[in-house]
């Protein structure tokens, strides 16, 4: 009996083509990795990196202030343009309506008792309400970022990369809810507190770049 052993066919490799194939593979890998490097980061990271670019915005919502002895609530409408703004607070402190406007270095507050001017919205609000609210810092806190004017301590960030708590200028600032608008994760519920006072802003509506 004759046994025929299987002999695999001889493969023919054209060594002249190998450099071309390796070059093609190299181009593919470089293209893939370059594409991965250009992928956008998670939403939270976009928010943290670009939030300073957000200069023109409008919020509508509710403001609540509580101390050991009393509590007040009001509706707030804040139209911001860079470091200038128009704030309307409806129904608080027996005043009916408080209008605060900043243009350049001049801040004007109007209520039913008349008009006051200063270079500090915080000072004017304290004079008519008795509450020391850091309005100049709120320009940044409302967006979910610390003010660049002073140091920050005890920061906390959640799994989505959102800043949820920090302390600045004796105030503790906390965020418990966010909404995504045009790539920004913006707060819906903001609480600022000191041992003697607590203020909460619940934002019902965000608008970016309002006319």
Q: What is the pLDDT of residue 206?
A: 97
Q: What is the pLDDT of residue 211?
A: 61
User: Does residue 27 belong to any structural domain of this protein?
Assistant: no
Is residue 203 within 8 Å of residue 64, measured between CB atoms?
no
- The number of distinct structural domains making up the chain is 1
Q: What is the pLDDT of residue 93?
A: 67
User: Does residue 167 belong to any structural domain of this protein?
Assistant: yes
User: Does residue 33 belong to any structural domain of this protein?
Assistant: no
Q: What is the extent of the structural domain holding 147?
A: 45-208
CATH number at residue 171: 2.50.20.10
Series of mean pLDDT values for 10-residue runs along the chain (211 residues): 44 45 40 38 45 93 94 95 95 81 96 94 94 95 94 89 93 95 93 96 94 61
Q: If we measure between CA atoms, which residue out of 86, 70, 69, 54 comes closest to residue 183?
A: 54
Q: What is the pLDDT of residue 21?
A: 44
């Amino acid at each position: 009996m004759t046994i025929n052993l299987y002999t695999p066919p001889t493969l023919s490799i054209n060594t002249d083509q190998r450099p071309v194939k390796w070059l093609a593979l190299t181009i593919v890998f470089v293209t893939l990795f370059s594409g991965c490097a250009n992928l956008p980061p998670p939403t939270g990271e976009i928010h943290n990196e670009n939030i300073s670019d957000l200069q023109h915005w409008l919020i509508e919502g509710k403001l609540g202030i509580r101390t050991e002895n009393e509590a007040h609530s009001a509706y707030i409408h804040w139209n911001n343009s860079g470091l200038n703004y128009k704030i309307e607070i409806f129904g608080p402190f027996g005043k009916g309506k408080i209008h605060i406007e900043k243009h350049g270095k001049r801040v004007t507050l109007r209520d039913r008792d008349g008009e006051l001017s200063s270079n500090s919205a915080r000072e004017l609000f304290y004079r008519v309400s008795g509450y020391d609210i850091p309005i100049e810092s709120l320009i940044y806190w409302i967006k979910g970022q610390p003010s660049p004017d002073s140091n920050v301590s005890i920061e906390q960030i959640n799994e989505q990369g959102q800043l949820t708590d920090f302390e600045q200028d004796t105030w503790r600032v906390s965020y418990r809810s966010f909404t995504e608008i045009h790539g920004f994760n913006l707060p819906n519920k903001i609480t600022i507190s000191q041992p003697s006072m607590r203020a909460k802003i619940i934002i019902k509506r965000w608008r970016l770049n309002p006319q």
